[in-house]
Structure 1
Amino acid sequence: MISKERYVPRVTQFDAVELDDEIVKILKNQVVNTVKFLGFGFFGRWEPEVDALLRFIIWKLSVNKVYGTFGQQLLNVRYGGEFNKNKAYLFAILTVGTRYLKQRSHEIATVTRNPSLSEKIKLFFHWADITFQLANLVNLLVFLTEGKHPTLVDRILGLQPVSVAPPGEDRTVGYSYMTRELLWHGLIELSIFAVPLVNYHALKRRIANLFLWRKKDIGSRAVVFRIGNKCAECNETPVLPHHMGCSHVFCFYCIKANHLADEKYECPLCGFSAKDAASITPLCLKS
């Protein structure tokens, strides 16, 4: 039986479970952002394997190493009692393995060529999932009553979280993580408010004028558009070719978008500046 000094309140045990789920979600989002350019459907095809790998790494660095999940460590909690390596391996099987089998249940059922056996496997996974959900609900109700085993896996393995905080500090509320989150969210909100106020195009033009010593055109020139011309902004074949008075050609979108963003937009090749929108005129192809 856990001594009173090492008892972990229900809310702390719940918070530890929620923190563990958030850690997995954050890591998975980072993986999604990393592989999103590898092609359509790449992550969706291997999502169960990626999820299992992330959960295995988290288990390896937390439960298998220090006998406590990352969420528990943040709250000065770990698994006490007779927790050992064997229970740590069973913990990995029940949390990582069963979730992976559930995610791949359809593929497992379709491996066999026997339709009747395939339907039986699908029915088995279906009822196993329903049974698991009902068992989780019953475990939650029991946990709210007795304050032990916040998850079904903890109850199956007989795991009980205990406090590892110094005596007398078990119920001390720590605000270090909360303060860091508040500061971070405040910085994000400030950035969201301030960044749109900065005229990036005008700032880029001024920096270019400081560091790029180029001779600027001071007067307009006649320009003839031919097949070999490239847009001075995107260096591609101009779409709806226009010019603004210098000897270079622009796509209509390139010159118009930049002029709307910066009224003093300058040609990136010669530094000629359009005085107003009227100076932006279309061109015709010449042989």
Structure 2
Amino acid sequence: MTSKERYVPRVTQLDAVELDKEIVSILKNQVINVTKFMTIGFLSRWDPEVDVLLRLIIWKLSVNKICGTFGQQLLSVRYGREFNKNKAYLLAVLTIGSKYLKQRSHEIASATRNPSMSEKVKLLFQWADKTIQVASLVNLLMFLSEGKHPTLADRILGLQPVSLAPSGQSRTVGYSYMTRELLWHGFIELLIFAVPLVNYHALKRRASNLFLWRKKDNDNRGVTFTKCAECNETPVLPHHMGCSHIFCFYCIKANHLADEKYECPLCGFTADDATSVIPLHL
């Protein structure tokens, strides 16, 4: 690739890689949503196989068919003339096969009956994983320097993406799009700063007082040994705050720290302060 019209900027190549990851993630989430009403743990035990199947489907419909990933196609990019069917299969082995072996490395090592051999296989997988991570880091530094081969698999196979955009046309971002992005990121930063300042426990208490009627129980006629008034489970380190209801230590302490005027959710009793939390001696 010598023509500058066919050159693909570094940011476009990296964006294509990230888009490919997002596409797999979106499909994986759809599969999870479809199977969420099945038996608990049904999908988790076959998670590596599901991941491989999805990636193979994507590879079949994109790389093997159109000589470019879906992420590359979204950015008008594909692999160059050096790409062929053999390299397509090798790319699948390097990207999909290696990931599957990593996910199933523990099961593969455990399948060996000899304990010493099993440890050697585990050590082999660990060293292979570390080697790939170091090689990927080196490849990234080389890519940032020379602008070629954004992934380690691309460098091993000598693959270089080329642009499908008309000659002289570069990737541009509209002004309106950039304005929306700036406004959105500014709004997100505002939320990140403002949300932690809002005491939603106090707001919840005030809303409950407005819309719910609860009888005050301030006569302290004894503590009931039943369930935690907050989590409705068997109390752990039982405590009370002066009313006739019992709490877990964590439930009552956490709520007092979040809202100093915390009220009992069953009777509406309010302790004077956090020091009114009293341990219960059985």
TM-score by length of 2: 0.62
Kindly state the Cα deviation for residue 52 of structure 1 after the two structures are TM-superposed.
4.0
User: How many matched pairs?
Assistant: 268
| Distance of 2:21 and 2:178 partners within structure 1 | 15
1:182–1:74 CA distance, 2 compared to 1 (3 A): farther
User: What SS does the corresponding residue of 2:222 show, helix, strand or coil?
Assistant: coil
Structure 1 residue 196: Cα displacement: 1.2
Report the equivalent of 1:259: 256
1:234 has 2:231 as partner? yes
SS in 2 for 1:78: strand
**SS of aligned partner of 2:245:** coil
Q: Secondary structure at the match of 1:210?
A: helix
Q: What amino acid sits opposite 2:238 in the alignment? A: L
CA contact (8 A) 2:223 2:246 kept: yes
Correspondence 1:204 to 2:195: no
What amino acid is aligned across from residue 56 of structure 1 in structure 2?
L
Distance 1:208 1:27 in 2: 39
The residue that corresponds to 1:192 in the other structure is 192
Q: Which residue of 1 aligns with 2:18?
A: 19
**Residue number among 247, 250, 264 corresponding to 2:247 in the alignment:** 250
CA distance in 1, matches of 2:183, 2:168: 29
What CA distance in whole angstroms lies between the structure 2 residues aligned with 1:49 and 1:65?
22
- Percent identity over paired residues: 60
Equivalent-residue separation in structure 2 for 1:202 and 1:21 (angstroms): 44
**Matching of residues 1-40 of structure 1 within 5 Å:** 5=5, 7-9=6-8, 11=10, 14-16=13-15, 18-19=17-18, 23=22
The 1:207/1:160 distance shift into structure 2, 3 A limit, reads same
Q: Partner of 1:207: helix, strand, or coil?
A: helix
C-alpha deviation, 1:207, in angstroms: 1.9
Note if 1:216 corresponds to 2:215.
yes
The structure-2 alpha-carbon separation of the partners of 1:177 and 1:11, relative to structure 1 and needing over 3 Å to count, comes to: farther
Residue ranges of structure 1 left out of the alignment (5+ in a row): none
> What stretches of structure 2 of length at least 5 have no aligned partner?
34-39
Structure 1 residue 204: Cα displacement = 0.9
* Whole-Å separation in 1 of the counterparts to 2:219 and 2:68: 74
1 CA distance for matches of 2:245 and 2:209? 19
Q: Name the structure 1 match of 2:37.
A: none
Provide closer, same or farther for how the CA distance between residues 60 and 191 of structure 1 changes in structure 2, counting only shifts above 3 A.
farther
* Paired residues of 1:78 and 1:164 also in contact (CA < 8 A): yes
- Structure with larger Rg: 1
| Deviation sequence 1:86-130 (CA, Å, 0-9, x none) | 6544432343235545776783797597x99x989x99xx89x98
Question: Aligned partner of 1:194: which letter?
Answer: A
Structure 1 distance, partners of 2:185, 2:94, is 36
Q: 1:175 to 1:9 in 2, by over 3 A?
A: farther
Cα deviation, residue 197, structure 1: 0.7
SS at match of 2:162: strand
> AA paired with 1:79?
Y
CA distance in structure 2 between the partners assigned to 1:224 and 1:151 by the alignment: 69
Give the CA deviation at 1:21: 7.6
**Partner deviation per Cα, 1:118-177 (whole Å, 9 max, x = no partner):** 989x99xx89x989x98x979x979977x7766675577675522122443235467888
Contact map agreement 2:78 2:164 (CA 8 A) in 1: yes
SS in 2 for 1:162: strand
Kindly report which structure 2 residues correspond to 1:130-141, keeping only aligned pairs within 5 A, or say none: none
5 Å-filtered alignment, 1:54-65, equals 55-60=55-60, 62-64=62-64
Q: Report the AA paired with residue 11 of structure 1.
A: R
> Residues 16, 175 of structure 1: CA spacing in aligned structure 2 closer, same or farther, 3 A cutoff?
farther
1:233-252 Cα distance to aligned partner (Å, 9 max, x none): 232344333233x4333344
Whole-Å separation in 1 of the counterparts to 2:208 and 2:186: 32
Deviations for 1:251-271, whole angstroms, at most 9, x for unmatched residues? 444334323322332221122
SS in 1 for 2:78: strand
Superposed displacement of residue 73, structure 1: 3.1
